[in-house]
């Protein structure tokens, strides 16, 4: 039960540079990074500082964004630090093995949903963050409060957003939405215009990138077609990995929704006859190959498939009518990732 | 002509954990694994032990599986150990180089086809295993005998299979088909239902995963559309790799159908005017990019392509009418893999 | 500002074998390769030597290639060595960081366009090489002159080419077009037949492969549909990487069109209302995931996407009508590559 050491780092693709922040090179074999300490050295960009002083570019009024939308979907989401246990059961039900003796808990970041006005949390801070859902025609408003010790943001995929709403750190061109400091709140306004339907995601894209993403700041976003009836059984699965630079733990974890190894990863359930949809996305440095036992689906191009290869920030949906009862695996078919925890149960009754 | 050493391990993606079996961590720089010795430590799962005692879940009668199938395709396939020479010519015809001085033979595993009742072998044990072929509407019955020293299975992709026929080790939920012990035989029954047509594959998915797959236990499976006339020239190509943990040899090999380097890999032939199809699948830890010189094909989405990137257990078919004579390369376009042997000849007259 | 060392090598996928040439194994941690010195040891293939002596296979006359093409597109292109600065500004505008202190210039190879008869250069030697453009029905003639010290070639993707025009080193079967020696010229004749339209590329495929490709010998090729009106804003982007074996510099660079880091990579411009197309291709050992902020496109299969994962020599086009002003990022979403320079600006007014 020897914990993984440096060899583990290499298992998921090679040691080396993660990023350069404030003149420091962060590498995978440089030990755990203290993101919040590093964040202190990052200067506030000029437009952000100006906005804080009350000058600079005026924030576009909410009314200017309003389309003739059917609805406004409003969210209150905070980025927070929390203790997160990657392998709570310390067991891998697939190989019937004990795994990861010792500590599997570390201080992660998670997006956390709150009731209006941030009055009270609607759920614990988790990895991934809460599902943001809209239909074509809606306006999505996200009140984002940063309760971590580093500037972080929310950057969406797929949905329409004006330039100052892209939640992206851009060096000296950074807008307030690209550099939300500790205890500040920023209101993102995005539009689910025609031609934005699909399975998407959101994640941090701030000055500490990719460290906050790697600590857990990502989540799913879905835009429904007009009149779409969601499938009866629907799952949103983020494939990502954790290494010691981020966790301070020994070894690497290949995770689905923040956990590793069957029995810790999501155990999904459906019944025969149901319409079932898996929404899948990646959010690390690797490609993954989603595979589901006992089933197959029709790809948008008409091809029948039971595997699908994807990279970081790719997102897709596979859908079928359930017809095959039993306890099934879903997993990443990259054998190395499968055996580092990237598998789970799909149980059909 | 210095043989590859640890640097070679890293060439195909990084050293590290392969899997954890019976409490042992198998890593790529831990030397060659003795799979059969390790297998002795793996306990027999409860349902399998019960079935052997004559109790436990009754095996579903064959009749219960029969659809109104046009045909029953019945196979007798054994998993066996054999000596396998990865580079028999010790030459790379692409670069006109001698390669891999010294030993290139190791003890691999292969699926081997037999005549009914396992009376006599129909071919030597090979990598990949025999093509399993069916048409939509057929029932496929595979009598699988394990002649290796480790529990192994047959897990298919694409074809319909009931839960106890998925040939998968599932910890304590494992069925007999997911843990076929040495000298035992298990009968898999699968159904080529409507909506399963395509290019697929099968491989071990037992308790020693991924080691038996890596030793060679995989092969192609194809389900024809009703009334489909197979192309006149048709090739089934498995892209995978071998490293010292599996082979005990020095260096890495990037292989097509179990061999490395042009002149060892399949030399494919066709003539102008023929319909030609390449069925391709991956079965290692890497992505590969299939490329064919001198030709292009139409993808299912209508796009014209001459390359296609895929991950492990992805499978696809490219098809075109041959119109260009000459000696051509087909290869993985990942340069590192190309130069580790992942290339071969396609000769059109 | 510690320069990347061996850890950097590993950052982009692992150290190891690049290729074997003339009996020498070239590995990523073996120091910078002297390609031209190595080239001296490569023997001239028999058919090439025979052609030089005036014997051997007769070169097919140009007339034999002519289809009833609408046009003949004729190019004069030389492969040359030149000094190339990967990060001219020494800054990363995305993270507002100084990057890569010290030398970022090395001796690269580039394809360079010349006026008819090679009278005068039309542009400096660059990475990538010049766009080769044709419409379906055209014949493309490329007079290729090798001004480097190693035998190099031009091998195209997508366009129709007869076997002796594939620009590929094939060991003893090599044609003159697959082994163009220093100061020799070879005339390639390719045909943009029906069914070849699309976004493609060309690159070296000679005896020194992949070293000349890695030094910069690649470029885009596009075949227009008949009657196609090119988009008003069109960009051709090659995603590749440079490591010390090729450059002799410290560290790895993840590049777009030969440069790394925003402000050095192409800064692209468009205006709202324009039809915009990004033509993207890869040319290294890695997969990349193209992502564009603020926009999305319709894939050939009808799916809406804002990311696309691809491998080496994959090529594709994404197209949309511009509707969103601002300064946007385009980048590889593999975080490691993003932070090694694989990002740039797309500015819409």
pLDDT digits (tens, 9 = 90+) for B326-344: 999 999 999 999 999 999 9
pLDDT of residue A5: 28
Which DSSP category does A312 fall into? B
Q: Bridge-partner residues for A345, per DSSP?
A: A329
**In this complex, do A25 and C9 lie within 8 Å of one another by their Cβ atoms?**
no
Q: Which residues of B touch A252 (CB under 8 A)?
A: 16-17
**In this complex, do A157 and C338 lie within 8 Å of one another by their Cβ atoms?**
no
Q: Which residues of B touch C300 (CB under 8 A)?
A: 299, 301-303
Strand C233-242's sheet: what is its strand order? C253-256, C233-242, C275-282, C315-321
pLDDT of residue B6: 30
Contacts of A230 (CB under 8 A, 6+ apart): A224, A277
Among the partner residues C43, C158, C300, nearest to B296 by beta-carbon distance: C158
Determine the distance in angstroms separating the CA of A128 from the nearest CA of chain C, rounded to an integer: 18
Which of C332, C312, B26, B310 has its CA nearest to residue A11? B26
Q: Which residues of A touch B197 (CB under 8 A)?
A: 304
pLDDT of residue C16: 66
Report d(CA A56, CA C38) in Å as an integer: 59
User: The whole model's pTM is what?
Assistant: 0.93
Query: Which is it for the CA torsion A51, A56, A57, A63, positive or negative?
Result: positive
pLDDT of residue C100: 67
- Among chain C residues, the shortest Cα distance to A281 is held by C307
Residue of A8, A163, A199, A298 to mutate when probing chain C, most C C-beta within 10 A:
A163
Residue of C94, C95, C292 to mutate when probing chain A, most A C-beta within 10 A:
C95
Q: Which chains touch B (3 or more CB pairs under 8 A)?
A: A, C
Tens digit of each residue's pLDDT (9 = 90 or more) over B146-202: 999 999 999 999 999 999 999 999 999 999 999 999 999 999 999 999 999 999 999
Report d(CA B11, CA C3) in Å as an integer: 23
Residue of A15, A20, A26, A49 to mutate when probing chain C, most C C-beta within 10 A:
A20
In the predicted model, is pLDDT for residue A71 greater than 70?
A: yes
Determine the distance in angstroms separating the CA of C180 from the nearest CA of chain B, rounded to an integer: 15
Q: With a threshold of 0.95, tell me whether the complex ipTM lies above it.
A: no
Query: Span A245-271, mean pLDDT?
Result: 95
**In this complex, do B196 and A324 lie within 8 Å of one another by their Cβ atoms?**
no
Q: Burial-class residue A345 by CB neighbours within 10 Å (0-12, 13-18, 19+).
A: buried
Which of B34, B2, B5 has its CA nearest to residue B252? B5
Among the partner residues A11, A99, A304, nearest to B16 by beta-carbon distance: A11
C-alpha angle C268-C273-C278 in degrees, rounded to nearest 5: 35
**Other CB atoms within 10 Å distance of the CB of residue B275:** 15
Q: Which residues of C touch B334 (CB under 8 A)?
A: 285, 311-312
Query: Span B257-278, mean pLDDT?
Result: 98
- Among chain B residues, the shortest Cα distance to C206 is held by B95
Q: Which residues of A touch B29 (CB under 8 A)?
A: 7
**In this complex, do A171 and C96 lie within 8 Å of one another by their Cβ atoms?**
yes
Residue count (chain C): 349
**In this complex, do B19 and A99 lie within 8 Å of one another by their Cβ atoms?**
no
Which of C107, C93, C180 has its CA nearest to residue C145? C180
Tokens representing C126 are 């660059």
pLDDT of residue C222: 98
Tens digit of each residue's pLDDT (9 = 90 or more) over B80-132: 999 999 999 988 888 778 886 789 999 999 999 999 999 999 999 999 999 99
Determine the distance in angstroms separating the CA of A110 from the nearest CA of chain B, rounded to an integer: 28
Tens digit of each residue's pLDDT (9 = 90 or more) over A184-238: 999 999 999 999 999 999 999 999 999 999 999 999 999 999 899 999 999 999 9
Confidence of residue A6 (pLDDT cuts 50, 70, 90): very low
**In this complex, do A98 and B23 lie within 8 Å of one another by their Cβ atoms?**
yes
Q: To the nearest whole percent, how much of chain A has pLDDT over 90?
A: 74
C-alpha angle C85-A41-A151 in degrees, rounded to nearest 5: 100
User: Could you tell me which CATH number the domain at B6-348 has?
Assistant: 2.60.40.420
pLDDT of residue A3: 24
Are C242 and C214 a contacting pair, CB within 8 Å? yes
- Cα-only R_g, chain B: 20
Query: Span A63-79, mean pLDDT?
Result: 75
Determine the distance in angstroms separating the CA of B344 from the nearest CA of chain C, rounded to an integer: 11
Determine the distance in angstroms separating the CA of A336 from the nearest CA of chain B, rounded to an integer: 5
pLDDT of residue A52: 80
Among the partner residues A14, A293, A307, nearest to B166 by beta-carbon distance: A293
C-alpha angle B216-B219-B223 in degrees, rounded to nearest 5: 170
Among the partner residues C43, C166, C210, nearest to B335 by beta-carbon distance: C210
Determine the distance in angstroms separating the CA of A349 from the nearest CA of chain C, rounded to an integer: 31
Residue of C158, C163, C194, C217 to mutate when probing chain B, most B C-beta within 10 A:
C163
pLDDT of residue A57: 47
Report d(CA B125, CA B216) in Å as an integer: 10
Tokens representing C238 are 């090659």
For residues B59 and A202, the model is more confident at A202
Q: Which helix (H) or strand (E) holds B46?
A: helix B46-53
Query: Span A96-124, mean pLDDT?
Result: 92
Which DSSP category does C152 fall into? B
Tens digits of pLDDT across chain C (349 residues): 222 223 322 333 344 677 777 777 777 667 788 888 888 888 888 888 888 887 544 455 454 444 455 699 999 999 999 999 999 998 888 877 888 678 999 999 999 999 999 999 999 999 999 999 999 999 999 999 999 999 999 999 999 999 999 999 999 999 999 999 999 999 999 999 999 999 999 999 999 999 999 999 999 999 999 999 999 999 999 999 998 888 999 889 999 999 999 999 999 999 999 999 999 999 999 999 999 999 999 999 999 999 999 999 999 999 999 999 999 999 999 999 999 999 999 999 9
Contacts of C216 (CB under 8 A, 6+ apart): C84, C108, C109, C110, C127, C128, C258
pLDDT of residue C6: 30
In the predicted model, is pLDDT for residue B28 greater than 60?
A: yes
* Residue B44 Cα distances to B114, B181, B207, B269, angstroms: 27, 9, 10, 47
pLDDT of residue C68: 53
Q: Bridge-partner residues for A160, per DSSP?
A: A191
Q: Which residues of A touch B315 (CB under 8 A)?
A: 307
Which of A264, A269, A262, A202 has its CA nearest to residue A235? A269
Which of B288, B295, B301, B292 has its CA nearest to residue B332? B288
pLDDT of residue A91: 87
C-alpha angle C85-C87-C93 in degrees, rounded to nearest 5: 160
Q: Bridge-partner residues for B193, per DSSP?
A: none
* Residue B155 Cα distances to B142, B219, C318, angstroms: 11, 10, 38
Which of B238, B273, B5 has its CA nearest to residue B129? B238
pLDDT of residue A63: 44
**In this complex, do C4 and A16 lie within 8 Å of one another by their Cβ atoms?**
yes
pLDDT of residue A68: 53
Among the partner residues C20, C22, C157, nearest to B306 by beta-carbon distance: C157
pLDDT of residue C201: 98
Are A57 and A50 a contacting pair, CB within 8 Å? yes
Q: Which chains touch A (3 or more CB pairs under 8 A)?
A: B, C
């Amino acid at each position: 039960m020897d914990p993984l050491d440096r060899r583990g780092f290499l298992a998921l693709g090679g040691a080396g540079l993660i990023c350069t922040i404030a003149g420091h090179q962060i590498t995978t074999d440089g030990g755990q990074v203290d993101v919040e300490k590093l964040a202190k050295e990052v200067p506030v960009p000029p437009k952000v500082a100006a906005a804080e002083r009350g000058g600079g570019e005026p924030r576009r009024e909410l009314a200017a964004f309003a389309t003739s939308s059917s609805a406004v979907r409003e969210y209150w989401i905070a980025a927070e630090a929390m203790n997160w246990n990657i392998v709570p059961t310390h067991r891998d039900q697939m190989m019937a093995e004990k795994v990861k003796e010792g500590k599997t808990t570390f201080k992660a970041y998670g997006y956390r949903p709150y009731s209006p006005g941030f009055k009270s949390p609607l759920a614990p801070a988790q990895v991934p963050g809460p599902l943001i859902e809209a239909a074509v025609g809606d306006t999505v408003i996200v009140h984002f409060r940063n309760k971590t010790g580093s500037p972080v943001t929310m950057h969406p995929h797929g949905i329409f957003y004006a330039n100052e709403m892209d939640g992206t750190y851009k060096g000296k061109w950074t807008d307030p939405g690209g550099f939300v400091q500790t205890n500040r709140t920023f209101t993102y306004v995005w539009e689910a215009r025609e031609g934005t339907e699909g399975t998407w995601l959101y994640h941090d894209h701030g000055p500490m990138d990719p460290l906050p993403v790697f600590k857990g700041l990502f989540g799913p976003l879905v835009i429904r077609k007009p009149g779409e009836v969601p499938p009866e059984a629907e799952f949103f699965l983020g494939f990502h990995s954790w290494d010691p630079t981020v966790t301070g733990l020994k070894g690497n974890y290949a995770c689905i929704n923040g956990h590793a190894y069957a029995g810790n990863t999501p155990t999904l359930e459906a019944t025969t006859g149901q319409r079932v949809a898996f929404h899948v996305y990646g959010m690390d440095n690797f490609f993954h190959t989603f595979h589901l036992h006992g089933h197959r689906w029709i790809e948008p191009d008409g091809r029948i498939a039971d595997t699908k290869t994807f990279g970081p920030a790719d997102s897709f949906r596979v859908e079928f009518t359930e017809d095959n009862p039993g306890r099934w695996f879903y997993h990443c078919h990259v054998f190395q990732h499968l055996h580092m925890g990237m598998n789970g149960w799909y149980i059909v009754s």
